Protein backbone atom coordinates (compact mmCIF):
# COMPACT_ATOMS: atom_id res chain seq x y z
CA UNK A 1 0.00 0.00 0.00
CA UNK A 2 1.40 3.35 -1.04
CA UNK A 3 -1.24 5.22 0.99
CA UNK A 4 -1.66 8.77 -0.27
CA UNK A 5 0.76 10.08 -2.86
CA UNK A 6 1.13 13.57 -4.31
CA UNK A 7 2.84 14.87 -7.40
CA UNK A 8 4.83 16.99 -7.84
CA UNK A 9 6.78 17.47 -4.59
CA UNK A 10 8.02 20.94 -5.49
CA UNK A 11 7.03 23.51 -8.06
CA UNK A 12 7.88 27.11 -8.85
CA UNK A 13 5.42 29.11 -10.94
CA UNK A 14 5.31 32.61 -12.28
CA UNK A 15 2.27 34.76 -11.58
CA UNK A 16 -0.49 33.91 -14.02
CA UNK A 17 0.71 30.42 -14.87
CA UNK A 18 -1.49 27.41 -14.31
CA UNK A 19 -0.79 23.98 -12.90
CA UNK A 20 -2.47 20.84 -11.57
CA UNK A 21 -1.57 18.95 -8.44
CA UNK A 22 -2.37 15.27 -8.42
CA UNK A 23 -3.36 13.23 -5.40
CA UNK A 24 -3.84 9.47 -5.46
CA UNK A 25 -4.92 7.03 -2.74
CA UNK A 26 -5.09 3.27 -2.78
CA UNK A 27 -7.17 2.72 0.37
CA UNK A 28 -10.59 2.84 -1.34
CA UNK A 29 -11.52 5.91 0.71
CA UNK A 30 -14.67 7.82 -0.17
CA UNK A 31 -13.57 11.20 1.16
CA UNK A 32 -10.66 13.20 -0.16
CA UNK A 33 -9.43 16.67 0.81
CA UNK A 34 -7.08 19.39 -0.27
CA UNK A 35 -5.51 21.61 2.40
CA UNK A 36 -3.02 24.40 2.36
CA UNK A 37 -0.62 24.99 5.23
CA UNK A 38 0.85 28.40 5.90
CA UNK A 39 3.15 29.35 8.79
CA UNK A 40 1.28 29.79 12.05
CA UNK A 41 -2.12 29.02 10.52
CA UNK A 42 -2.40 25.27 10.67
CA UNK A 43 -4.28 23.53 7.89
CA UNK A 44 -7.06 25.20 5.96
CA UNK A 45 -9.46 23.19 3.84
CA UNK A 46 -9.57 24.28 0.19
CA UNK A 47 -11.94 21.76 -1.40
CA UNK A 48 -13.12 18.30 -0.59
CA UNK A 49 -14.92 15.40 -2.21
CA UNK A 50 -17.35 12.93 -0.69
CA UNK A 51 -17.19 10.52 -3.58
CA UNK A 52 -16.37 10.00 -7.23
CA UNK A 53 -17.80 12.78 -9.35
CA UNK A 54 -18.61 15.10 -6.44
CA UNK A 55 -16.69 18.09 -5.06
CA UNK A 56 -17.44 20.90 -2.65
CA UNK A 57 -15.87 24.10 -1.37
CA UNK A 58 -14.00 24.28 1.87
CA UNK A 59 -12.83 27.25 3.90
CA UNK A 60 -10.54 28.87 1.29
CA UNK A 61 -11.67 27.79 -2.21
CA UNK A 62 -11.05 31.00 -4.19
CA UNK A 63 -8.50 30.64 -6.99
CA UNK A 64 -8.66 26.83 -7.01
CA UNK A 65 -10.67 24.20 -8.84
CA UNK A 66 -10.86 20.47 -8.27
CA UNK A 67 -12.02 17.33 -9.99
CA UNK A 68 -12.65 13.75 -8.88
CA UNK A 69 -13.21 11.75 -12.02
CA UNK A 70 -11.95 8.53 -10.43
CA UNK A 71 -12.43 7.46 -6.83
CA UNK A 72 -8.71 7.12 -6.23
CA UNK A 73 -7.66 10.50 -7.68
CA UNK A 74 -8.32 14.06 -6.61
CA UNK A 75 -6.89 16.90 -8.69
CA UNK A 76 -6.30 20.47 -7.55
CA UNK A 77 -5.96 23.11 -10.23
CA UNK A 78 -4.67 26.66 -10.14
CA UNK A 79 -5.85 28.47 -13.26
CA UNK A 80 -3.90 31.69 -12.77
CA UNK A 81 -1.39 31.45 -9.96
CA UNK A 82 -0.88 34.36 -7.57
CA UNK A 83 1.89 34.96 -4.99
CA UNK A 84 -0.74 34.54 -2.25
CA UNK A 85 -0.99 30.90 -3.29
CA UNK A 86 2.58 30.22 -2.25
CA UNK A 87 2.10 27.51 0.33
CA UNK A 88 2.49 23.84 1.11
CA UNK A 89 -0.43 21.79 -0.19
CA UNK A 90 -1.54 18.57 1.41
CA UNK A 91 -3.97 16.00 0.17
CA UNK A 92 -5.74 13.65 2.56
CA UNK A 93 -8.32 10.90 2.44
CA UNK A 94 -10.63 9.14 4.86
CA UNK A 95 -13.55 6.80 5.09
CA UNK A 96 -17.01 8.28 5.29
CA UNK A 97 -17.70 10.18 8.52
CA UNK A 98 -18.28 8.53 11.85
CA UNK A 99 -21.97 7.96 11.35
CA UNK A 100 -21.00 5.10 9.06
CA UNK A 101 -20.24 3.10 12.20
CA UNK A 102 -16.53 2.73 11.67
CA UNK A 103 -14.52 3.74 14.73
CA UNK A 104 -11.66 5.05 12.62
CA UNK A 105 -13.83 6.64 9.94
CA UNK A 106 -12.71 10.15 10.79
CA UNK A 107 -8.99 9.43 10.68
CA UNK A 108 -7.42 11.29 7.79
CA UNK A 109 -4.40 9.94 5.94
CA UNK A 110 -2.12 12.56 4.48
CA UNK A 111 0.17 12.73 1.52
CA UNK A 112 3.74 14.08 1.81
CA UNK A 113 2.82 17.53 0.50
CA UNK A 114 3.65 19.78 -2.44
CA UNK A 115 5.68 22.91 -1.83
CA UNK A 116 4.52 25.57 -4.28
CA UNK A 117 6.18 28.92 -4.79
CA UNK A 118 4.57 31.57 -6.98
CA UNK A 119 6.88 34.37 -8.03
CA UNK B 1 -11.96 30.24 11.86
CA UNK B 2 -10.07 27.65 13.82
CA UNK B 3 -11.93 25.31 16.13
CA UNK B 4 -8.96 23.87 17.99
CA UNK B 5 -6.28 26.00 19.55
CA UNK B 6 -3.16 24.38 20.91
CA UNK B 7 -1.20 25.61 23.87
CA UNK B 8 1.68 26.21 24.13
CA UNK B 9 2.69 27.27 20.63
CA UNK B 10 6.18 25.93 21.25
CA UNK B 11 7.74 23.66 23.86
CA UNK B 12 11.37 22.72 24.47
CA UNK B 13 12.28 19.91 26.85
CA UNK B 14 15.12 17.51 27.62
CA UNK B 15 15.06 13.92 26.46
CA UNK B 16 13.41 11.74 29.07
CA UNK B 17 11.06 14.45 30.32
CA UNK B 18 7.31 14.42 29.75
CA UNK B 19 5.69 16.79 27.28
CA UNK B 20 2.14 18.06 27.72
CA UNK B 21 0.20 19.90 25.06
CA UNK B 22 -3.29 21.28 25.39
CA UNK B 23 -6.10 21.88 22.94
CA UNK B 24 -9.21 23.98 23.46
CA UNK B 25 -12.19 24.08 21.16
CA UNK B 26 -15.41 26.01 20.86
CA UNK B 27 -18.32 23.88 19.66
CA UNK B 28 -19.64 20.38 20.27
CA UNK B 29 -17.64 17.57 18.74
CA UNK B 30 -17.99 13.91 17.89
CA UNK B 31 -14.34 13.21 18.43
CA UNK B 32 -10.97 14.83 18.83
CA UNK B 33 -7.81 13.66 17.13
CA UNK B 34 -4.12 14.36 17.54
CA UNK B 35 -1.70 14.33 14.62
CA UNK B 36 2.07 14.68 14.39
CA UNK B 37 3.98 16.41 11.60
CA UNK B 38 7.70 16.01 11.19
CA UNK B 39 9.45 18.84 9.41
CA UNK B 40 8.69 18.81 5.69
CA UNK B 41 6.32 15.87 5.92
CA UNK B 42 2.59 15.21 5.93
CA UNK B 43 0.54 14.78 9.09
CA UNK B 44 0.41 11.38 10.73
CA UNK B 45 -2.55 10.33 12.84
CA UNK B 46 -1.65 9.53 16.45
CA UNK B 47 -4.83 8.93 18.38
CA UNK B 48 -8.59 9.55 18.29
CA UNK B 49 -10.78 10.00 21.32
CA UNK B 50 -14.58 9.95 21.12
CA UNK B 51 -16.73 12.55 22.86
CA UNK B 52 -17.99 9.92 25.31
CA UNK B 53 -14.46 8.87 26.30
CA UNK B 54 -12.38 10.62 28.94
CA UNK B 55 -8.94 9.09 28.49
CA UNK B 56 -7.05 6.97 25.99
CA UNK B 57 -3.58 5.50 25.88
CA UNK B 58 -1.38 4.45 23.02
CA UNK B 59 2.18 3.48 23.86
CA UNK B 60 3.82 6.56 25.40
CA UNK B 61 0.85 8.75 24.50
CA UNK B 62 -1.96 9.64 26.85
CA UNK B 63 -4.89 11.75 25.73
CA UNK B 64 -7.58 13.19 27.95
CA UNK B 65 -10.81 14.87 26.94
CA UNK B 66 -12.97 17.13 29.09
CA UNK B 67 -16.09 18.00 27.12
CA UNK B 68 -17.42 20.23 29.91
CA UNK B 69 -14.34 22.44 29.56
CA UNK B 70 -14.04 21.84 25.82
CA UNK B 71 -10.42 20.88 26.19
CA UNK B 72 -8.04 18.03 25.59
CA UNK B 73 -4.46 17.28 26.50
CA UNK B 74 -1.79 15.14 24.91
CA UNK B 75 0.92 13.77 27.18
CA UNK B 76 4.06 12.21 25.74
CA UNK B 77 5.96 10.36 28.43
CA UNK B 78 9.71 9.76 28.47
CA UNK B 79 10.23 11.90 25.41
CA UNK B 80 12.87 11.11 22.82
CA UNK B 81 14.70 13.29 20.31
CA UNK B 82 12.64 11.55 17.61
CA UNK B 83 9.48 13.07 19.14
CA UNK B 84 10.61 16.47 17.89
CA UNK B 85 7.75 17.55 15.62
CA UNK B 86 4.65 19.70 15.45
CA UNK B 87 1.51 18.31 17.06
CA UNK B 88 -1.98 19.26 15.93
CA UNK B 89 -5.36 18.66 17.43
CA UNK B 90 -8.28 18.21 15.08
CA UNK B 91 -11.86 18.58 16.17
CA UNK B 92 -15.27 18.35 14.64
CA UNK B 93 -18.02 16.10 13.49
CA UNK B 94 -15.93 14.09 11.09
CA UNK B 95 -14.96 14.24 7.45
CA UNK B 96 -14.91 17.71 5.99
CA UNK B 97 -16.13 19.10 9.30
CA UNK B 98 -12.78 18.26 10.92
CA UNK B 99 -10.88 21.44 11.76
CA UNK B 100 -7.19 21.56 12.57
CA UNK B 101 -5.53 23.89 15.03
CA UNK B 102 -2.30 25.80 14.41
CA UNK B 103 -0.19 23.25 16.27
CA UNK B 104 2.38 23.01 19.05
CA UNK B 105 6.03 22.77 18.04
CA UNK B 106 7.86 20.35 20.32
CA UNK B 107 11.65 20.27 20.48
CA UNK B 108 13.26 17.48 22.46
CA UNK B 109 16.92 18.06 23.24
CA UNK B 110 19.19 15.04 23.36
B83 by DSSP, 3-state: which? helix
pLDDT tens-digit readout, B47-95 = 999 999 999 999 999 999 999 999 999 999 999 999 999 999 998 766 6
Residue B108 in this model has a pLDDT that exceeds 70: yes
Residue B1 in this model has a pLDDT that exceeds 60: no
A16 touches chain B (CB under 8 A): no
pLDDT tens-digit readout, B27-44 = 888 889 999 999 889 999
Q: Give the distance from residue A14's alpha carbon to the nearest chain B alpha carbon, in angstroms.
A: 23
Chain B residue closest to A106 (CA)? B94
Residues of chain A short of pLDDT 50, as ranges, are: none
A24 touches chain B (CB under 8 A): no
- pLDDT attached to residue B30: 85
Q: Give the distance from residue B44's alpha carbon to the nearest chain A alpha carbon, in angstroms.
A: 7
Which is more confidently placed, B8 or B1? Answer: B8
Mean residue pLDDT across chain B: 91
- pLDDT attached to residue A69: 95
Amino acid sequence: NAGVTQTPKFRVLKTGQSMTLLCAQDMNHEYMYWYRQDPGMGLRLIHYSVGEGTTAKGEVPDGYNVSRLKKQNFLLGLESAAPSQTSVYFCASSYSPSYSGRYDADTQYFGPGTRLTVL
Amino acid sequence: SQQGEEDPQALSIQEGENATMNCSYKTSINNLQWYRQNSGRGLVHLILIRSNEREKHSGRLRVTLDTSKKSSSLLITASRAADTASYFCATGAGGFKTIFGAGTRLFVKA
